[in-house]
Amino acid sequence: MVAIRVKAKVPGSIYSDLRRENVLKEDLLYEKNDVNYRWVSYDNWTYERTFNVESNILNKKNVNLLANGIDTVSSVYINDQLIGKTYNQYIRYVFDVKNVLKSGQNTIRLAFQSAPIYAKQQSEIYNETYHYKVIPDCPGEESHGECHSNFIRKMPASFSWDWGPSFPTQGIWKPIGIEAFDKLVIRDITVETTLSPENPSQWQLNVNGFLESAPNQEIVGIFEIKLDNISQSTNTIKFKTDKQGQTMFGSYSLVKDIDITPWYPNGVADNTQKLYDLNVELSFADSKEVSTQTKKIGFRTIKLIQNPVKPEGLTFYFEVNSKPFFAKGSNWIPTNVLMEDITPEYLRHLLFQPMF
């Protein structure tokens, strides 16, 4: 057996790496290459690199490996020490690496297992345990696809489907890196825009934040919410993280010092697509650390209207900002078999190119 060693690009996948290094000499979509290149997905691939860590990083209380997207089944090592395993393409992984990193040069290695083989193994384990077959086990024969996609938390389209080829990827498909901090970090925020019950002409911001730190910590943080760089609220909150190191906060504030233009779906009203910059900042009185999240948001209310109709039944339509509209749409499928080949320019072309 001859080992194949090529340069990798992250984010990306093994198919892109092999294609770029000319191991796969023909286009993936050419003739029967979904079958000819099946050997790639049946093999196990390892991603490895060295990186430097400065000593001041290791002085932080929290030092994590933050992996936003790993595809899919892998064992993760730093300096030859196993720090965790992954089984899900869709979630973020956070691994504590404070005690395995060292000042200077370090090595990270992600050893991937073949996705089709893993899915088959999980199917066999399930059948032996429960004596029950989960269907559908395989796509139609004409698809030339892989079986048991329902036994792995991975993009099912990579196992093929009715009009897509089978290219079960392996790789690091979203950014990965080391993070270090002493206090708390904002992982994500969700936003709901509503009208104030006391004043229906006044918009209200409902912001929820999801935060992480070390487990079982009590930390006092100062939250400031800005809309188009205008401060909307500032609150000092005492947080206590759970045994997973997670906590959350909620903030409800009336919008001030900004005349809000409501957002409407395209074609429902004039000047409909107004968006605002929402910035959530977490700071601390006893530290210079700051964690922020920024999103573009639109202000709108949406209601599902279900009124009784004769002789029986209910209406089913939506109102945006109390205005009824026809909720039309289309079926969106993956635009490429490899996520790394999808560019913003290509998406704009597909979404906005005139059809006639």
Distance CA(170)–CA(146), nearest Å, equals 15
User: What pLDDT sits at residue 304?
Assistant: 96
Which pLDDT belongs to residue 354?
65
Between these two residues, 141 and 41, which has the higher pLDDT value?
A: 41
- Is residue 334 one of the residues assigned to a domain? no
- 353 pLDDT higher than 80: no
Q: In this structure, is residue 318 part of a structural domain? A: no
Residue 33 has pLDDT above 90, yes or no: yes
pLDDT digits (tens, 9 = 90+) for 226-259: 999 999 999 999 999 999 999 999 998 999 999 9
Q: How far apart are CA 352 and CA 163, in angstroms?
A: 23
**82 and 218 inside one domain:** no
Counting the structural domains of the chain, the total is 2
The first and second tokens of residue 233, run together, are 């609220």
pLDDT at residue 332, as a whole number: 87
- The percentage of the chain sitting over the pLDDT mark of 70, rounded to a whole number, equals 98
| Per-residue pLDDT tens over the stretch 289-318 | 999 999 999 999 999 999 999 999 999 999
Residue carrying structure tokens 């709108």: 300
Say yes or no: 1 and 112 in one domain.
yes
Q: What is d(CA 103, CA 282) in angstroms, rounded to the nearest whole number?
A: 29
pLDDT (mean) for 51-78: 97
pLDDT at 3: 87
pLDDT per position as a tens digit, 66-123: 999 999 999 999 999 999 999 999 999 999 999 999 999 999 999 999 999 999 999 9
132 and 225 part of one domain: no
Contact 50, 106 (CB under 8 A): yes
**Residue 271 forms part of a structural domain:** yes
Q: Are residues 121 and 84 in the same domain?
A: yes
212 and 77 inside one domain: no
Residues 96 and 135 in one domain: yes
Q: What is the pLDDT of residues 131-154, one digit of tens each?
A: 988 988 999 888 899 999 999 999
Q: Which two tokens stand for residue 124?
A: 């066999």
Q: What's the one-letter identity of residue 88? A: N
CATH of the domain at 19: 2.60.120.260
The per-residue pLDDT for 327 is 86
344 belongs to a structural domain: no
Q: Quick one: 42 and 191 in the same domain?
A: no
Residues 111 and 227 in one domain: no
Boundaries of domain holding 188: 182-302
pLDDT at 269: 84
Across the chain, what does the average pLDDT equal? 94
In a domain, 198, yes or no: yes
| Residue 266: predicted pLDDT | 83
Across the range 192-200, mean pLDDT stands at: 92
Q: Which of the listed residues 166, 181, 196 is the one where a domain comes to its end? A: 181
**Average pLDDT estimate for 156-162:** 91
In the predicted model, what is the mean pLDDT of residues 1-25?
94
**pLDDT band at 267, cuts 50/70/90?**
confident
CATH number (domain holding residue 273): 2.60.40.10
pLDDT, residue 133, reads 86
Instruction: For residues 284 and 254, state if they share a domain.
Output: yes
Name, in order, each residue with C-beta under 8 angstroms of 217's C-beta and a sequence gap of 6 or more: 239, 240, 241, 245
Q: Average pLDDT, stretch 321-348?
A: 90
Question: Out of 57-61, 80-84, 100-104, 160-164, which region has the weakest mean confidence (pLDDT)?
Answer: 160-164
Sorting pLDDT into bands at 50, 70 and 90, what band is 163?
A: confident
- The pTM of the full predicted model, rounded to 2 decimals, is 0.90
Q: Does pLDDT of 355 surpass 70?
A: no
43-53: average pLDDT: 97
If asked whether residues 157 and 118 sit together in one domain, one would say: yes
> Are 63 and 150 members of one domain?
yes
Question: What are the backbone angles phi and psi of residue 92, rounded to the nearest 5°?
Answer: -90, 140
Establish if 95 belongs to a structural domain. Answer: yes
pLDDT of residue 1: 60
Does the residue 348 lie in any domain?
no
- Are 127 and 236 part of one and the same domain? no
What distance in Å separates the CA atoms of residue 241 and residue 215, rounded to the nearest whole number? 6
For residue 53, give the amino acid letter: V
Answer whether residue 328 is part of any domain. no
Yes or no: say if 105 and 33 are a contact pair by the CB < 8 Å rule.
no
Question: In one letter, which amino acid is 299?
Answer: F
